[in-house]
Chains A and B, each alone.
Chain A
Amino acid sequence: MNEILQQLLNGIIIGSSYALLAVGLTLIFGIMRIVNFAHGEFYMLGGVFCFYLASRLGINYFAALGLALVLAMALGALLERSILRWLKDASIDSTIIVTIGLSVFIQNITLLWMGPVPRNIPTPFSNAPLSAFGLTFTAIQIFVLLVTALVIVGFHVLLKHTFLGKAMRATFTQRDAARLVGIDTDRIGGVTFILGSGMAALAGAMLGSIYLVYPSMGAIAVLKAFIIVIVGGLGNIMGAIVGGLILGVAESFVSGFISSDYSEAIGFFIVIAVLLFKPQGLFGRKGQV
């Protein structure tokens, strides 16, 4: 029983970062209608920037974290203003290819810069295992869990209680009416992209702090993000959160009880199963926020 709870805990910790990643992708898809294959690169850059700032430049971990986020979001803003604006009327094909191209570019530039060897982000937390309620964990894991939970809750507050959040929800569910009350849907799209990329970057920095960072970590991340989004239901933010947690827990269970080699595969099996039995996703309905 303890084993199960332990894996559950591990799964939730990972899953909460997955949830962040997926929510970012959902926002971008729901509001901007863009299938963003480069989403995973922001995830990677969050981790890589954090590593570089903390390790190479010796900056304090928390400051490095914050700075990494800012850098990633700035890059997102730059990309959105330039390349993505040109994609506004493009076909899905074009959008996919261009975002794939961006992904290839970013991934390989990073590879050139830091090499393929996975790196460790130095954190002020010790690696000593802690214990409570019969479960073991490390300080960094708790930190990650707290931060992601805080951000998810904070985002929820943003969506529900600020004008910006309401405008985002309005654009998401009923674009015409949003424009009619004077919401600048293009500007909302820009803000969304920055937010979504920031979430991806945070997820990358968080998981990167627990595990390792390496230039190709974005590729598998974007796949997982898409899997989660489809499992949760396209365009459903709650679905993305729950889906992320489900994936994290599933991977954890498979890794702990079967074999860590196959933990990557479980996501694909889940998405195939969901598509076969409930193709609109677990949370089906579109636009529920």
Chain B
Amino acid sequence: MLQLEDIDVKYGQRQALFGLNLHVGEGEFVTLLGANGAGKTTTLRTISGLIKPVRGRIRFYEEDINGRPPSAIVSRGISHSPEGRKVWPFMSVEDNLLLGGYVHRHKRKLKDELQRIYDLYPRLHERRQQHAGTLSGGEQQMVAIGRALMSNPRMLILDEPSLGLAPIMIDRTMDLIRDIHRSGITVLLVEQNAALALEISDRAYVIETGKLVLEGASAALLKSDYVQQAYLGMGVAVQQD
């Protein structure tokens, strides 16, 4: 469904991604792990069109999407909940959600979409007139996810949804994401918190300083200490399952 081939990304002279090869199959739940600064967010931003790769191709359902603007990517069905949530703090929850459906704003069904999100997340309905910035971290994450769902995506990208959340909220958020996956949406999740991500995903990649170093089934990786080794510099496992 989504295929990254030999992707190189540079920030000016600094190369952030080196020949990245990644794929996500339809209906899969894939997670991308790695330490901070490894290139996870860069990968997601490249998929979403915020960054243009200097080399390589990105294919979504056999269509080339590298270099297309973010609006085109959203229209084609990939939605992105960014790192740090980035809700609009002085706009209401409802406005935040409505803007999530921006690409469909001319269609009448936007109201229906909004209702659908409210049905899924009653909490948001309760707080719909509140400024998004006044909500707790977990609620803001809900807003960010709801916003991403408003465009009725086929694939949802999430960038570190657990960041800065209290443990209870992390559990709730992960349940939320699991439910989204069960409803048929393909999920690509980026997380620093490896155990969490491995518990709910099907397959995982580990990225380190811009290169993929590990790939495998999440269940297997959870049991082994490959990931720990990769994270804590105790030697790098090159094995692929």
Task: Show the binding face of A for B, using Cβ within 8 Å.
Answer: 163, 166-167, 169-170, 173-174, 176-184, 287-289
Contacts of A181 in B (CB 8 A): 74, 99-103, 147, 151
Q: Provide the bound-state CA to CA distance between A117 and B87, in Å.
A: 53
Measured between beta carbons, the chain A residues less than 8 angstroms from B147 are 181
29 A-B pairs in the complex with CB atoms less than 8 angstroms apart: A163-B98, A163-B102, A163-B105, A166-B95, A166-B98, A167-B99, A169-B88, A169-B90, A169-B91, A170-B88, A170-B99, A173-B90, A174-B88, A174-B89, A177-B82, A179-B50, A179-B70, A179-B71, A180-B80, A180-B82, A181-B99, A181-B100, A181-B101, A181-B103, A182-B70, A182-B151, A183-B102, A184-B71, A289-B90
Say whether, besides A182-B102, A182-B151, A184-B69, A177 and B86 are in contact (CB < 8 Å). Answer: yes
Find out whether the CB atom of A173 lies under 8 angstroms from the CB atom of B48.
no
Chain B residues within an 8 Å CB radius of A169: 88, 90-91
- Distance of A253 from chain B, by nearest CB (Å): 33
Cβ–Cβ contact B88 & A173, under 8 A: yes
Interface 1/0 per residue, B182-203 and A, CB below 8 Å: 0000000000000000000000
B75 within 8 A of A: yes
Chain B contacts to A: CB under 8 angstroms? 48, 50, 69-71, 74-75, 80, 82, 86-91, 95, 98-103, 105, 147, 151
Q: Closest CB-CB distance, B161 to chain A, in whole Å?
A: 14
Q: Once bound together, how far apart are the Cα atoms of A144 and B212, in whole Å?
A: 65
Chain A binding surface SS class: helix
For the complex of A and B, 9 pairs with smallest distance between CB atoms: A182-B74, A177-B86, A182-B71, A182-B103, A179-B70, A181-B102, A182-B102, A180-B80, A163-B105
Total A-B residue pairs with C-beta atoms closer than 8 Å?
A: 65
| B78 CB, nearest partner CB in chain A, Å | 10
**15 additional contacts (CB under 8 A) given A166-B95, A181-B103, A288-B90:** A167-B99, A170-B91, A173-B89, A174-B87, A176-B86, A177-B82, A177-B87, A179-B70, A180-B74, A181-B99, A181-B101, A181-B102, A181-B147, A182-B75, A183-B102
A174-B100 in contact given A163-B105, A179-B70, A183-B71 (Cβ < 8 Å) = no
Which chain A residues lie closer than 8 Å to B70 at the CB level?
179-180, 182
Note all chain A residues with C-beta closer than 8 A to B98: 163, 166
Instruction: Tell me the minimal C-beta distance from A169 to chain B in angstroms.
Output: 6
Smallest beta-carbon distance A201→chain B, Å: 28
Determine how close the nearest CB of chain B comes to the CB of A44; give it in whole angstroms: 33
Question: Least Cβ distance of A287 to chain B in Å?
Answer: 7
Residues on B with C-beta less than 8 A from A166 are 91, 95, 98-99
In whole angstroms, what is the CA distance A166 to B74 when docked? 18
Q: Say whether B82 contacts A176, CB under 8 Å.
A: yes
Residues of A within 8 A of B100 (CB): 181
